[in-house]
Amino acid sequence: MKSLKLVSLTTAISLLVLSTTAFAQDRTSYTNKVVNTTISTVIHPSANYSEVMFVGSSVDSNGNAHVTKLLVDPEEGLSKVVATYYVNIFNEYVGYGHITGGSDVIAVQGLLNTKINAGLTTDGSFGSLTYNAVKSFQASKGLSQDGVVGPNTWRALLQ
């Protein structure tokens, strides 16, 4: 039964990424914004959304992508969208000397938590813990370990 629920959750996330990717590609502006998604119908009223997951989209030819924040009930295989963060991997460098606060940092922190279980607080503040987690992630992917999320690190985080 858990296997079936996991397949359902994976399918739901895949459909969510496909549908939000189509929506994102219609947007004309990817300016460092968060678009909160309001859900009028709760997927399941007694669901226990106990986990947070960040899912990245594919990157279009202009460098536009988005990161979706989901609340997940792993027991029931349910999820709901909380927010979507839009980024441009060619223009939005995150790290010391670049963007160190705001929605881009939240997206990076959330993806690091999902990808490598970094244990970061998704507070939108780029500090030493986020810096070290970025370097650790870069090392695990064979990337230059500069602690800055540029195009190559964004691509790896969004995969």
Bridge partners (DSSP) listed for residue 99: 94
In terms of residues, how long is the chain? 159
| CATH code: domain of residue 30 | 1.10.101.10
Q: Is the dihedral of CA 81, 10, 44, 114 positive or negative?
A: negative
What are 108-142's pLDDT values in tens digits?
Answer: 999 999 999 999 999 999 999 999 999 999 999 99
Q: What is the count of structural domains for the chain?
A: 1
Quote the domain boundaries for residue 27. Answer: 2-158
Both tokens of 157, joined, read: 């985080």
pTM summary value: 0.72
